[in-house]
Structure 1
Amino acid sequence: MFTGIVEELGEVVKAGEAFLAVRGPLVTSDAGLGDSISVNGVCLTVVQVDGDVFTADVMAETYRRTAIGDLREGDRVNLERAATLTTRLGGHLVQGHVDGVAHIVKRTPAAEWEEVTFRLPAGLAKYVVEKGSITVDGTSLTVAHIDGDEFTVGLIPTTLDATTLGRKQVGDPVHIETDVVAKHVEKLLESAGGNR
Structure 2
Amino acid sequence: MFTGIIEEVGIVKSISPNGSGSTFTFSASKVLDDIETGSSISVNGCCLTAISFGKNWWTTDAVPETMNRTTLGLLHEGDSVNLERPLQTSGRFGGHIVQGHIDGTTTIQSIDLQDDESYRFAFELKPEWEQYVCHKGSIAIDGISLTVAAVSSGLFEVAVIPHTWSATNLGQKIAGGSVNIEVDILAKYVERQLSANKLTNLEVE
Tell me the TM-score range normalised by the shorter chain: over 0.9
Larger Rg: 2
TM-score by length of 1: 0.96
Question: What secondary structure, in the 3-state scheme, does the structure 1 residue paired with 2:128 have?
Answer: coil
- CA-CA distance at 1:59 after TM superposition: 1.4
- Mind listing any 5+ residue stretches in structure 1 that lack a counterpart? none
Contact 1:38 1:79 survives alignment (8 Å): yes
Partner Cα separation in structure 2 for residue 62 and residue 122 of structure 1: 21
Give yes or no for the alignment of 1:66 onto 2:48. no
Matches within 5 A, 1:116-155: 116-155=121-160
User: How many angstroms does 1:134 deviate by?
Assistant: 0.5
Deviation string, structure 1 residues 92-111 (Cα, Å, up to 9, x no partner): 11101111101110111113
User: Which of 131, 143, 166 in structure 2 is aligned with 1:161?
Assistant: 166
Aligned-pair CA distance for 1:122: 3.5
Alpha-carbon distance in 1 for matches of 2:50, 2:126: 29
Q: Measure how far apart 1:52 and its partner are.
A: 1.3
Structure 1 residue 187: Cα displacement: 1.8
Q: How many Å apart are 1:45 and its aligned residue? A: 0.8
Counterpart of 1:130 in structure 2: which amino acid?
Answer: H
Aligned residue pairs, count: 196
TM-superposition CA deviations, 1:31-85 (whole Å, max 9, x none): 1111110100111011111221111111121112101011111100011111110
State how far apart, in whole Å, the 2-side matches of 1:146 and 1:121 are. Answer: 12
For residue 42 of structure 1, what is the aligned residue in structure 2? Answer: 46
Extract structure 1 runs of 4+ deviating beyond 3 A.
Answer: none
Instruction: Report the Cα offset of residue 169 of structure 1.
Output: 0.2
Matched, 1:173 2:182: no
More displaced 10-residue stretch of structure 1: 167-176 or 53-62: 53-62
1:7 alignment counterpart: 7
1:103-151: CA deviations, max 9, x gaps? 1101111132111101133411210010011100010000000112211
CA contact (8 A) 1:100 1:121 kept: no
The offset of 1:194, in angstroms, is: 2.4
Read off the aligned partner of 2:152 and give its amino acid letter: D
In structure 2, C-alpha distance between the alignment counterparts of 1:140 and 1:34, rounded to whole Å: 24
Tell me the secondary structure at the aligned position of residue 16 of structure 1.
strand
| TM-score (structure 2 length as normaliser) | 0.92
Q: Give 1:16 shift.
A: 2.2
CA contact (8 A) 1:36 1:45 kept: yes
Q: Distance in 2 between matches of 1:187 and 1:110?
A: 38
Query: Is contact 1:144–1:153 with CA below 8 Å preserved after alignment?
Result: yes
